[in-house]
Amino acid sequence: MNKLKSLLVAAFLLVSVASFAQTGNVKVGYTNANYIISQLPESRQIESDLKAHSSQLEKELQNKYKSYQEKVEAYKKGAPTMTDVVRADREKELTTLQSSIEEFQRNADASLQKKEQSALEPVMNKIQKAIDKVAKENGYTHIFTAEALLYGPEDGNSFTDLVLKDLGVTPAPKGSPAASAATPGAGTSPKPAVQNSAPVKKKK
């Protein structure tokens, strides 16, 4: 569905550009903000900070899950000799612990996302200013995101190179790891800790 929406948006943009092109006053360029971010020196620090934050959250998540698993094992071993009251109490405790772990994971994901957005906001503002400046200086009337482009010239990245030059950055050689780097923070979300660990059901 998202892919279809992207294609429809891209088609709409191309039709719009085509209609503008009839006036003869259109100069179109496209760029990839994620690629530009990956080429900036500060991207390495952002990525390092996000990984450290993610590792801390994941460590805490794993500690919580380990404690939960230990209590589950203790419950299983002791359940046959437990009174109904004690068994019900242990089951309630396990259910509460699982809910706590799931809530922590949701909060951890939100915390990481917020930290990433906070770190990237000034960088994105910096890039947007450079894009505006380069577009005006070079007579571009429309700049589109490369992800929405269905077809473009071989030298279509020339606008991106101009933006990087304005930012004082020399692009990494094509084919190098830095050249294909993704946005900082990608893949740093804490991994799920609770899998197939439904609350222990009371024995009848």
For the stretch 156-196, pLDDT in tens is: 568 899 999 999 998 766 655 555 554 555 555 555 454 44
Please list, residue by residue across 49-76, b when 16 or more beta carbons sit within 10 angstroms of its beta carbon and e when fewer do.
ebeebbeebbeebeebbeebeeebeebe
Q: How confident is the model at residue 120 (pLDDT cuts 50, 70, 90)?
A: very high
pLDDT at 179: 52
Q: 187, exposed or middle or buried, with CB in 10 Å at 0-12, 13-18, 19+? A: exposed
Q: Strand, helix or coil at 27? A: coil
Boundaries of every domain in the chain? 2-180
For the stretch 15-64, pLDDT in tens is: 444 444 444 588 888 898 889 999 999 999 999 999 999 999 999 999 99
- Lowest mean pLDDT segment, chosen from 44-58, 83-97, 140-154: 140-154
Q: Rounded mean pLDDT of 133-138?
A: 94
pTM for the predicted model, two decimal places: 0.66
- Residue 198 in this model has a pLDDT that exceeds 50: no
Q: How confident is the model at residue 74 (pLDDT cuts 50, 70, 90)?
A: very high
pLDDT at 155: 57
pLDDT at 19: 41
Question: What are the Cα distances from residue 147, in Å, to 114, 156, 167, 170, 193?
Answer: 24, 13, 22, 22, 33
What stretch of H or E contains 68? helix 42-78
Q: How confident is the model at residue 3 (pLDDT cuts 50, 70, 90)?
A: very low
- Residue 94 in this model has a pLDDT that exceeds 50: yes
- CA dist 79 and 75 (Å) reads 6
